Amino acid sequence: MSPTTPDTSEFPRVEHAAAPAPAPVVSDAPRPEEITKREILGVPLAMTDYDEAMDVMDGMIARRQLGYVCAVAVHATTVAYKDPEMMAALRGSSLTVPDGMPLVWAANILGEKLPQRVYGPELMWRHCARAAEKGHRVWLYGSRDQGTLAQLALNLRKAHPGLRIVGGYSPPFRELTEDEEAEVAARINADRPDVVWVGTGVPRQEKWMARMRDRLEAPVLCAVGAAFDFHAGRISQAPSWMQDRGLEWTYRIAQEPRRLLPRYLYYNPAFLMAFTRQLVREKILRRTP
């Protein structure tokens, strides 16, 4: 078995035969470029909600419009501020939604009226419910191992009866070779998904989507970070009251202190300082005649 071929004994597949590619159809769903954006640290964040974001994704599927969606929090935004490749990936996305409450607060300080975030794990969960209703084909790329990926697939199918998960793969914790990426692309294209959910972590997942976009025929790629581990039951999510108050990071640190504490100690203050500079700069520009 090739290193990039999923172990089908662990990952239960719904179907093996490739479906014919559907023809594009006329859709009145909003296009990605029609969504209002607000730049924060140079990242164009969509001023949107769950329903509109999912409408955009469904419109892309209906039109067979190729693109990718990123759900970003403070970490990803601050990484992009320092990493040109990450910034290019986020600026090249069809839709970049504010995954964290601090980004919602930042947008509102700048004059927006965003009522809520578009949390990646919740976006994935809600859109899988839609996909089950509409018959969209789903592919899963990510997770910490193939066993966790199989559990994720089982949990999604149980929660959303009729969901068509047509393939999946948990890549190794390293960059794939050119031959491996070509094999992954061929496998995904053979399975003809409508949506490829990507959960390999920041900034790897965003850079992968940007790099692979022209090689994949699926209309929508969507990066959702830790959603795979949450929905597989490997990591618990913070209570809703903590999420609503922007305290989810404290809950995550308690779960994985060695991995996450250094990240938050660096990126949270870095974001605050960079955003303060942006806020001051914009205020000065507004006062300049």
CATH of the domain at 113: 3.40.50
Sign of the alpha-carbon torsion through 191, 13, 53, 69? negative
Q: What is the pLDDT of residue 19?
A: 54
Kindly state whether residue 185 falls inside one of the protein's structural domains. Answer: yes
Kindly state whether residue 120 falls inside one of the protein's structural domains. Answer: yes
Q: Which residue has the higher pLDDT, 242 or 131?
A: 131
Q: What confidence tier does 286 reach under pLDDT thresholds 50, 70, 90?
A: confident
Instruction: Examine the pLDDT at 8 and tell me if it is beyond 70.
Output: no
Kindly state whether residue 138 falls inside one of the protein's structural domains. Answer: yes
Instruction: Examine the pLDDT at 2 and tell me if it is beyond 50.
Output: no
Q: Which residues, other chains included, contact 97 with Cβ-Cβ below 8 Å and sequence gap of 6+?
A: 45, 46, 48, 53, 69, 70, 71, 72, 117, 118, 120, 123
Kindly state whether residue 248 falls inside one of the protein's structural domains. Answer: no
Kindly state whether residue 215 falls inside one of the protein's structural domains. Answer: yes
Tally of domains within the chain:
1
The percent of residues in the chain predicted with pLDDT above 90, rounded, is 71
Measure the CA–CA gap between 193 and 139, rounded to whole angstroms.
6
pLDDT, mean of residues 210-221: 98
Kindly state whether residue 6 falls inside one of the protein's structural domains. Answer: no
Kindly state whether residue 246 falls inside one of the protein's structural domains. Answer: no
Lowest mean per-residue pLDDT among 56-70, 91-105, 252-266: 252-266
pLDDT, mean of residues 21-29: 71
Measure the CA–CA gap between 85 and 8, rounded to whole angstroms.
34
pLDDT, mean of residues 183-205: 97
Q: Which residue has the higher pLDDT, 196 or 241?
A: 196
Q: What is the pLDDT of residues 98-157, one digit of tens each?
A: 999 999 999 999 999 999 999 999 999 999 999 999 999 999 999 988 999 999 999 999
Measure the CA–CA gap between 211 and 205, rounded to whole angstroms.
10
Provide the domain limits for residue 86: 37-232
Closest C-alpha among 138, 121, 143 to residue 218: 138
Q: What is the pLDDT of residue 4?
A: 42
The percent of residues in the chain predicted with pLDDT above 70, rounded, is 90
Q: What is the pLDDT of residue 249?
A: 79
CB 118 within 8 A of CB 98: yes
46 CB neighbour count, 10 Å cutoff: 23
Instruction: Examine the pLDDT at 1 and tell me if it is beyond 50.
Output: no
Q: What is the pLDDT of residue 170?
A: 94
Q: What is the pLDDT of residue 111?
A: 94
Average pLDDT, the chain: 90
Instruction: Examine the pLDDT at 66 and tell me if it is beyond 50.
Output: yes
Kindly state whether residue 118 falls inside one of the protein's structural domains. Answer: yes
Instruction: Examine the pLDDT at 73 and tell me if it is beyond 80.
Output: yes
Q: Which residue has the higher pLDDT, 5 or 92?
A: 92
- 3-state SS class at 96: strand
Instruction: Examine the pLDDT at 267 and tell me if it is beyond 70.
Output: yes
Q: The pTM is what?
A: 0.89
Q: What is the pLDDT of residue 251?
A: 82
Residue 33 burial class via C-beta count within 10 angstroms: exposed 0-12, middle 13-18, buried 19 and up: exposed
Q: Which residue has the higher pLDDT, 45 or 287?
A: 45
pLDDT, mean of residues 253-275: 89
